[in-house]
Amino acid sequence: MSTPTLVTASTSKITIDGKDVPGVQSLEFEISRNRQNIHSLNTDERIGAYYGGMFVKGSLKVRSLFADLDKKMYETIAALKHFQIVCELHPQGADSMVKKITFDECFLDSKSFGIDATGVAVTTYNFTGTRISEE
């Protein structure tokens, strides 16, 4: 049995449009596919399914804030431009990259901000992407 590779946030790297994002706390994403069930008449059972395009949504939590994304949140509709997020996963104590995840043509959906009793501020940026690739 092979030993699992453990990647760590402290050694991994996240960039947005080529700029390092400092203070990343977490990156979470979900990929879903549009699906419609096909049913036969007079039965409750599905006899098939029709599958459509994929949908990518995610959230990026950053200690304090990331000014580049803050600016994008307040752009006017006419000035909206997509951005790219690249996440390079690295194991602890090694320079080699385990996996690279790229989110293309992303747009911000929402932003939230919080600060707790420990005094650490965290901004959460929720985004959608046109496609995702993992290498």
CATH number of the domain encompassing residue 55: 2.30.110
Residue 45, domain member (yes or no): yes
Global pTM reads 0.85
Q: Residue 63: which domain range?
A: 13-134
Q: Is 38 exposed, middle or buried (0-12, 13-18, 19+ CB in 10 A)?
A: exposed
Query: What is the average pLDDT score of the chain?
Result: 92
What is the separation, in whole angstroms, between the first and last Cα of the chain? 23
Q: Which residue has the higher pLDDT, 135 or 4?
A: 135
- pLDDT (0 to 100) of residue 3: 76
When divided into structural domains, the chain yields a total of 1
Residue 3, domain member (yes or no): no
Residue 4, domain member (yes or no): no
pLDDT in tens, 85-117: 999 999 887 778 899 999 999 999 999 999 988
Residue 29, domain member (yes or no): yes
